[in-house]
């Protein structure tokens, strides 16, 4: 479970990275005209690594976008350093956010007949 400090710093990094990406100053052709959302940033306990979960709008060319963001991570880190007074500025890496795909997969699994039968059987056992 992340500490309060990890959550707070992660939210600061998320906001700043979102602002940097919305300004569109990254000179990578894979990022031209692409809107990227940053729903979450996960910090390591020592606050030296920020894993930014990202998803391009529409999910198109997601792997190319993540690769382009990782290539631009030094520039993004430099932009983060402006105005920050932390002892160590975290390294930034970008990871594709697959949580929505996982949710869809779990929903599909729960809709299967054999799973529905098993969950109905368990519910009737609880009633007794």
pLDDT score of 128: 53
pLDDT score of 42: 95
Provide the residue-wise pLDDT of the chain in tens; the chain has 128 residues: 889 999 999 999 999 999 998 888 888 888 888 889 999 999 999 999 999 999 988 777 889 999 999 999 999 999 988 878 788 889 999 999 887 666 666 677 777 777 777 777 655 555 55
pLDDT score of 126: 53
Query: HEC string of 60-111?
Result: CCHHHHHHHHHHCHHHHHHHHHCCCCCCCCCEEEEEECCHHHHHHHHHHHHH
Q: How far apart are the first and last CA of the chain?
A: 36
């Amino acid at each position: 479970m992340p500490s309060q400090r990890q959550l707070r710093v992660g939210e600061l990094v998320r906001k700043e990275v979102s602002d940097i990406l919305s300004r569109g100053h990254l000179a990578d052709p894979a990022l031209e005209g692409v809107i990227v959302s940053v729903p979450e940033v996960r910090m390591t306990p020592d606050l030296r690594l920020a894993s930014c979960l990202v998803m391009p709008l529409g999910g198109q060319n997601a792997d190319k976008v993540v690769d382009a963001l990782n290539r631009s991570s030094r520039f993004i880190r430099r932009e983060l350093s402006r105005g920050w007074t932390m002892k160590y500025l975290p390294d930034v890496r970008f990871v594709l956010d697959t949580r929505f795909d996982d949710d869809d997969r779990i929903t599909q699994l729960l809709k299967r007949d054999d799973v529905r039968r098993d969950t109905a059987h368990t519910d009737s056992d609880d009633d007794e």
